[in-house]
Amino acid sequence: MYVGKSYKLTEFLVWTRKSIYILIVLGIVPVILYQILGLKWLAIPWTVVALLGTATAFIVGFKNTQTYNRTAAAQHIWTSIINSSRAWGLLSRDFLDNPEKAKELIYRHFAWLTVLRFQLREKRVWESTDRAHNAEYRKYYTIPEHESEMEAVLTKYLTNNELNYVLSKKNRALQILSLQSKAVKDLFAKEEIVLLQFYEIQSTLRDFVALQGSCEEIKDSPYPRQYAIINTLLLKLFCFLLPFGMLKELDRLNDTIDGVMRGNMVWFVIPFSVLISWMYTSLVQVGESTENPFEGGANDVPISQLCEIIEIDLREMLDENNITALTQPKHNIIM
């Protein structure tokens, strides 16, 4: 997540420069064919381009709205995870008279958070972090889940038997919640908690199961491909036809211009077509970078830091010392 005041214009231009280069070429070629080679028939009616541009604007706007909603939903889910985790810490500490058992439940919860964030950072074929413009920007920040091994992190929170059990499963985060449920059941069987406390803790566990499922829904359900392909095709068609639609419109201005620009107004097709097309392509690129909020992009929900916040809060509930400080943003980006 970017936490600065705003991206710099230079950063944005560098991030979108590949599109700019392509748009410049798309603008130059029609002008040369029209103005120098005299292929005047290449000009197409502006009305056609305007209608296509309107349709493209609707499609791009619709996609960006939906991708923003995906990120907003992910942020809401993780806000709920924070709140429920704090409640879990309070329940574990205050319902049990055994501090070691309470610490065991809380540390096992840290393990669940760890596995969940590692699972959410796994690569999916439709994600865009490996595309050139995004991969290049990753030099400004690091993704903790790509810099460490999950097994090494889990050794801080689980016993060897629990660790081996969890690593042998496919959905490891869910299996940690299963271990939590078994542990709570044993506490109830040993009468270390009463029925009402047992119900309250199990209710919180059900919340974690539901929240994990919501995260998995966003992670494993991409923006519908049928809409994505329409968006891509219309955008490319619009950017290709825009310079051809501007040729005759700017050529007409020669009748009202004197001086050196008379007869050369058509050359303004290049900057104007690049500017308009860049606006569309940039909106699409921004929407694409917001589409998958757990993939490890600069605009993702900062699940790594949110897990750090939860761990700090719960360890302070246990009155522990030597708590690691919260990781600070790198280049105004937190993960």
Residue 87 lies in a domain: yes
Residue 334 lies in a domain: no
Residue 326 lies in a domain: no
Question: How far is residue 244's CA from residue 201's CA, in Å, rounded to a whole number?
Answer: 66
Question: How far is residue 274's CA from residue 122's CA, in Å, rounded to a whole number?
Answer: 36
Residue 327 lies in a domain: no
Residue 156 lies in a domain: yes
Count of CB atoms situated within 10 Å of the CB of 147? 9
CA distances from 20 to 15, 16, 75, 109 (A): 10, 7, 32, 47
Question: How far is residue 305's CA from residue 309's CA, in Å, rounded to a whole number?
Answer: 6
State the residue range of the domain holding 98: 9-317
Count of CB atoms situated within 10 Å of the CB of 81? 23
pTM of the prediction?
0.87
Residue 33 lies in a domain: yes
Please give the tally of structural domains in the chain: 1
Residues whose CB falls within 8 Å of the CB of residue 284, separated by 6 or more in sequence, listed in order:
60, 63, 231, 232, 235
pLDDT digits 0-9 by tens, 238-274:
899 999 988 888 777 776 666 666 667 788 889 999 9
Residue 292 lies in a domain: yes
Please give the angle made by the CA atoms of 229, 233 and 235, to the nearest 5 degrees. 115
Is residue 287 a contact partner of residue 238, using CB atoms and an 8 Å limit?
no
Residue 333 lies in a domain: no
**What is the torsion angle, in degrees rounded to the nearest 10, for the CA atoms of residue 185, residue 187, residue 189 and residue 192?**
-150
Residue by residue, pLDDT tens for the chain (335 residues) are 767 777 788 887 888 889 899 999 999 998 898 888 888 888 888 888 889 888 888 888 888 888 889 899 999 999 999 999 999 999 999 998 888 999 999 999 999 999 999 999 988 888 777 777 777 777 778 888 888 898 999 999 999 999 999 999 999 999 999 999 999 999 989 999 899 999 999 999 999 999 999 999 998 988 777 777 888 888 899 899 999 988 888 777 776 666 666 667 788 889 999 999 999 888 888 888 888 888 888 788 899 999 999 999 999 998 888 888 788 878 777 87
3-state secondary structure of 2: strand
